[in-house]
Amino acid sequence: MRTLNLIFPSLAVCALFTFPGGGGSCRNKEAAFSKAPVERNNKLAKGVWGGQHIRLEVTDSGANIEYDCANSTITQPIVLDRNGNFDVRGKYMPEHGGPIRRDEESNSYSVRYVGHASDKELTLTITIPDKKETLGNFTLTHGSDGRLMKCR
């Protein structure tokens, strides 16, 4: 009789963790929340986002972007709308191989960053509004350093 009393509670515990929707459901909701690229204030998640030929580091006040042969700065928070879209402006600075001369003038110009964040993926289009020219389309992943081939 005593053995029977111990077996029944053990079977009940096993059944609790075996049936779908049981013990794992809380963990799944928590995992889905941690994948969101949005912070509580609707800003794009801070940290590193990387992709082919691009590395974006998001901060509280904006972002720094590094490309193969250029870099950019965004000096305003990247706020997402309810669909995960954003549209911000920043400065783009082309680079070149070799040393930078002291008397070299800055050839930076204003650009527009239009993007969409979904889960841990970010699509980004960078354009020069004055020239109506697209500098690039990129797909980035949160937590990835990206893959850059710096011009030297």
Higher pLDDT, 65 or 105: 65
Q: What is the pLDDT of residues 101-149, one digit of tens each?
A: 777 777 889 999 999 999 899 999 999 998 889 999 999 999 999 998 8
Phi, psi dihedrals of residue 11, rounded to the nearest 5°: -65, -40
> Would you list the domain boundaries of the chain?
1-34, 37-142
Kindly provide the residue ranges of all beta strands, DSSP E only, lying in 52-151, ordered along the sequence.
Answer: 54-59, 62-67, 70-74, 85-94, 109-118, 121-128, 133-142
Q: Distance between terminal CA atoms of the chain?
A: 80
Residue 35 has a pLDDT of: 44
Residue 5 has a pLDDT of: 52
Residue 141 has a pLDDT of: 96
- DSSP 8-state class, residue 77: -
Work out the pLDDT band at 53, boundaries 50, 70, 90.
very high
Higher pLDDT, 29 or 69: 69
Residue 40 CB neighbour total at 10 angstroms: 6
Higher pLDDT, 27 or 93: 93
* CA gap 15, 2 in Å, rounded: 21
* CA gap 16, 24 in Å, rounded: 10
